[in-house]
């Protein structure tokens, strides 16, 4: 599918970006012509380059011949139109994983979130439109927080989805699609590494509320969703994985096990939901079944390529709907080696 293609991953040095790059290089979608990691952090790019060179340390000469390699690193920022135009010049496929994603950070610096999460995607579209770039597909990576958003991060991601979907009208030669998913296990800033750290320190383990539920999926499942959308999504569609959810109290109980660790309820934080939602009430009436995924059809009728009066959902798709039992939560964590008795798999180890 991607044989002979040039692929750009914006935000390619992040938790998702690194696993996405690894999977793209594996050849499961074909042998790429070139894979470009586009991000603004030179230190993370250097570390990632070293890992693929199987070297612990190296001088700056490792950067030379960068543009002759299959895996290429390019410094730039999605906020900057000129650097976006440059990196997309020969691109066939674009995965937009660049984002400001920490909820408190986005609340304290909302316009920074706007610049990365909204203006960044608009720069991608603007570059394709203004320079008539032959980009075949753009995949926008979103979050469950974009569904009925209550915080700045979710609001900006919701706008990103709408910007990409509408772009199918402005740039009809390019397919713009989105993916939306929930909490990623063991990704940077997620709760499992936090709980591990609190348990190792002797506690207490802090929970905001005993009612809280969350969707749970691995970084590999997140990439599976991206690949499924790339293969099957029509223009303007948003792919949603059908994944398990759990009570946070069960998650904590499994991690603590028999250890004498106190659990402390600290109250719900600003911008936080008790239950996460992947498909809203309004979206449920235009949501189709795609096997292991749901596909939300675009709101704009001009973009829809599928006409159906048989939609899958009759209400919102919430993390409170179908909860795993405590044994099922334990089984899931053991599957990904995330219990305290296993070796914790962090995103930096996924490249090993």
> Helices (H) and strands (E) in the chain — how many of each?
12, 16
Confidence (pLDDT) at 344: 46
Exactly one of 5, 18, 101, 145 is catalytic; which is it? 145
The model's confidence at residue 65, banded by pLDDT at 50, 70 and 90, is low
The pTM for the full model equals 0.90
- Range from 18-22, 38-42, 257-261, 334-338 carrying the lowest mean pLDDT: 334-338
What number is the average pLDDT over the span 42-56?
85
Residue-wise pLDDT for 142-178, tens only, equals: 999 999 999 999 999 999 999 999 999 999 999 999 9
Strands 238-241, 293-296: pairing is antiparallel
> Is the confidence at residue 308, as pLDDT, over 70?
no
Q: Measuring CA to CA, how many Å separate 196 from each of 191, 247, 310? A: 9, 17, 44
Instruction: Give the span between the Cα atoms of 39 and 50, in whole angstroms.
Output: 16
Instruction: Give the span between the Cα atoms of 255 and 251, in whole angstroms.
Output: 6
What number is the average pLDDT over the span 176-200?
84
Instruction: Give the span between the Cα atoms of 109 and 150, in whole angstroms.
Output: 16
Catalytic: 148? no
Structure tokens at 140: 């926008």
Confidence (pLDDT) at 269: 83
Q: Catalogue the E-assigned strands of the chain.
A: 6-10, 34-39, 71-75, 93-96, 137-143, 175-181, 183-184, 205-207, 213-217, 238-241, 245-247, 263-265, 277-279, 287-290, 293-296, 317-318
Q: What is the distance, to the nearest Å, from the Cα of residue 114 to the centroid of all Cα atoms in its chain?
A: 17
CATH superfamily of 6-349: NAD(P)-binding Rossmann-like Domain (3.40.50.720)
Structure tokens at 337: 């080696």
Confidence (pLDDT) at 135: 98
- Range from 269-273, 307-311, 335-339 carrying the lowest mean pLDDT: 307-311
Do residues 166 and 159 lie in contact, with contact meaning Cβ atoms separated by under 8 Å? no
Confidence (pLDDT) at 348: 41
């Amino acid at each position: 599918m991607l044989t002979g293609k040039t692929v750009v991953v914006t935000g390619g040095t992040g938790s998702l970006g690194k696993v996405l790059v690894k999977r793209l290089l594996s050849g499961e979608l074909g042998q790429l012509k070139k894979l470009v990691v586009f991000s603004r952090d030179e230190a993370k790019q250097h570390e990632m380059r070293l890992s693929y060179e199987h070297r612990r340390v190296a001088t700056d000469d490792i950067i030379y011949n960068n543009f002759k390699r299959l895996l290429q690193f390019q410094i730039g920022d999605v906020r900057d139109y000129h650097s976006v135009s440059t990196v997309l010049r020969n691109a066939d496929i674009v995965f937009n994983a660049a984002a400001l994603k920490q909820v408190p950070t986005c609340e304290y610096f909302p316009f920074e979130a706007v610049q990365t999460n909204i203006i960044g995607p608009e720069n991608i579209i603007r570059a394709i439109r203004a320079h008539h770039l032959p980009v075949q597909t753009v995949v926008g990576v979103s979050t469950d927080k974009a569904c009925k958003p209550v915080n700045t991060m979710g609001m900006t991601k919701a706008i990103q989805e709408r910007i990409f979907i509408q772009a199918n009208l402005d740039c009809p030669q390019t397919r713009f699609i989105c993916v939306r998913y929930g909490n990623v296990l063991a990704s940077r800033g997620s709760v499992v590494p936090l709980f591990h750290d609190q348990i190792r320190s002797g506690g207490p383990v802090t929970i905001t509320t005993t009612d809280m539920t969350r969707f749970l999926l691995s970084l590999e499942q997140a990439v599976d969703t991206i690949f499924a959308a790339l293969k099957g999504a029509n223009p303007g569609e948003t792919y949603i994985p059908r994944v398990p959810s759990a009570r946070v109290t069960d998650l904590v109980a499994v991690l603590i096990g028999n250890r004498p660790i106190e659990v402390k309820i600290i109250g719900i934080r600003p911008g936080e939901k008790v239950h996460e939602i992947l498909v809203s009430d309004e979206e449920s009436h235009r949501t189709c079944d795609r096997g292991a995924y749901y596909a939300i059809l675009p709101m704009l009728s001009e973009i829809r390529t599928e006409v159906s009066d048989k939609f899958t959902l009759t209400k919102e798709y919430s993390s409170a709907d179908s909860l795993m039992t405590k044994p099922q939560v334990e089984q899931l964590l053991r599957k990904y080696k995330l219990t305290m008795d296993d070796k914790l798999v962090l995103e930096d180890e996924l490249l090993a």
